[in-house]
Amino acid sequence: MGFRVKTTYLDILLGILVLLLTVKLLWTAVEIIWLPTKGVNHAENSRVKPLYYKVKIAADKKVTPIRVEKKPVGSIKDIQLLAIYNASDVTVVTVIYKGKTKVLGRGDVINGFTLEGAGSDYATFSKNGKAYRVDLIKSKQKGIGSIKPVPFSATKKPPKEFAKEPEGEIVDAGDHKIIDRSLFDHYVKNMNDIYKNIGIKEIKKGNQIDGFQITFVRRGTPFSKLGIKRGDILKSVNGEELTSYNAAFEAYKAMNDAQNVTVVIQRGNKTMELEYEIN
């Protein structure tokens, strides 16, 4: 009985193995007959397009351009030449800029332009390595024009053009001198006549102007009665220290409406004050 049971189990096991073997053989036959011999690259033949989605992370900001205002560039045409004082070693000009009168010495800057020199009827300026020329304004008004020092020796006789002197007197009142108003106004308005009668040159301490020295005073002229002498150094006029050409010309222009003028001079080792009353 026991032997028969064992034979039954063995038959069942053999049947299962035969079934599995049969299924395997059938699958192999199907692969050989219907399936292709090579594999298919599904990635190469795939026609499916990838999907991309635009995601808006943040709201777009409108960029506003920044406007940069350009500063107007100064033009040489803004400078008008009113008068020139030109010597071998000194150049001083009077110009009109923005409706105001300015006095410039060589090297001074106005509107970005540097005064380099001058001729008889023009001045030269430079800016950014370029040279510019400004011509003298032609005018019939007295006192406007080219102002040149005329060298004159006190030992020589005056030329005929100097024979006629302006009207007016200078009176010595002891502690001060009284200058006739008409005489004073003539020289204030006619600088050219000043340099025909008196010579002036700068005095420097290092690179700084330290006054203006009298080089000659023409005899027989009103200037010979002012009490100044050859060699005197003008230090200040009405408190304006003469440490530049600009200061000297500003002091000169300020005297136009003056009633009293105080001039500080250095004579040798002494400092003196000269007082004048304009009457």
What would the pLDDT profile of 185-221 be if each residue is shown by its tens digit? Answer: 888 777 667 878 888 888 888 888 899 999 999 998 8
| Model confidence band, residue 142 (pLDDT cutoffs 50, 70, 90) | very low
Q: Is the pLDDT of residue 3 over 60?
A: no
pTM above 0.75, yes or no: no
Question: Domains in the chain: how many in total?
Answer: 2
What does the alpha-carbon distance between residue 249 and residue 269 come to, in Å, rounded to a whole number? 26
pLDDT at site 141: 40
Give domain status of residue 41, yes or no.
Answer: no
pLDDT at site 268: 93
Final residue of a structural domain among 135, 160, 177: 135
Q: Do residue 100 and residue 156 come from a single domain? A: no
Give the amino acid at 272: M
Give domain status of residue 251, yes or no.
Answer: yes
165: tokens are 């002197």
pLDDT at site 22: 79
DSSP state, residue 86: E
The dihedral through the CA atoms of 99, 100, 101, 106 has a sign that is negative
Domain region containing 128:
76-135
What does the alpha-carbon distance between residue 260 and residue 242 come to, in Å, rounded to a whole number? 18
Average model confidence (pLDDT) across the chain: 76
Averaged over 116-128, what is the pLDDT?
89
The dihedral through the CA atoms of 13, 14, 16, 20 has a sign that is positive
What does the alpha-carbon distance between residue 151 and residue 46 come to, in Å, rounded to a whole number? 107
What does the alpha-carbon distance between residue 27 and residue 186 come to, in Å, rounded to a whole number? 136
Averaged over 87-101, what is the pLDDT?
79
Q: Do residue 127 and residue 160 come from a single domain? A: no
Contact 241, 212 (CB under 8 A): no
Q: Do residue 119 and residue 202 come from a single domain? A: no
Give domain status of residue 273, yes or no.
Answer: yes
Q: Do residue 224 and residue 252 come from a single domain? A: yes
User: What CATH number should be reported for the domain holding residue 97?
Assistant: 2.30.30.830
Give domain status of residue 67, yes or no.
Answer: no
Q: Do residue 163 and residue 269 come from a single domain? A: yes
pLDDT at site 214: 93
Contact 239, 272 (CB under 8 A): no
